[in-house]
Structure formats: C-alpha cells, structure tokens
Amino acid sequence: MRLNYYPDTDSLYIDLSEKTSFESREISEGVVLDYDENGYLVGIDIDNAANKFNLSELVISKIPVNLQTIVA
C-alpha cells in the first residue's frame, strides 16, 4: 500500500494494489474509487485532501509493515 500526496493539486492517492485501474466511481464529491478489471478495489483518489484530513500525522497501528519514507 502506498500513500501519495500531490500538493500542487491537493490530492491524496491511496494505492492499494499494483494492478491497473480499469474502472473508477465517484462515491462522494472529490472521492473516487478505482477498481481493476475483476472489480477489486485498487485505489482511492481524494481531491482537496488537506481540507478534509490532517495530513501532518500518520498513525499505523498493529499492521506488520516495512515503513519507507520518501521526501520529495
């Protein structure tokens, strides 16, 4: 899973899979779910993310994780 924030567009993309998005559905204003060709959820796109969430803190709880931080 990858979380990518794009400050120039204030969008947050949560990549849940390496599979390619085949279909997208907007479930609420500025929130789009991406599905693969088999209908499995592969990503979540959130517009105006900084207005919807506190992006300054990320808490991971009880998830076995190999944490990588990439600062651009």
Task: Give the pLDDT of the chain (72 residues) as one tens digit per residue.
Answer: 899 999 999 999 999 999 999 999 999 999 999 999 999 999 999 999 999 988 888 888 888 877 777 776
Determine, yes or no, domain membership for 61: no
Within-domain flag for 20: yes
Residue at 72 is within a domain: no
Say which DSSP state 38 is in.
T
**What DSSP element (H or E) covers 50?**
helix 49-52
Quick check: is 60 in a domain?
Answer: no
- Do 22 and 33 form a contact (C-beta atoms < 8 A)? no
Do the domain assignments include residue 67? no
Query: Interior CA angle at 45 toward 56 and 37, to 5°?
Result: 145
- Asked if residue 58 belongs to a domain, the reply is no
Q: What is the pLDDT of residue 21?
A: 94
Q: What is the pLDDT of residue 65?
A: 76
Q: What is the per-residue pLDDT for 25?
A: 98
- Residue 69 lies inside a defined structural domain of this protein: no
pLDDT score for 72: 63
Tally of structural domains, the chain: 1
- Say how far apart CA 66 and CA 18 lie, in whole Å: 17
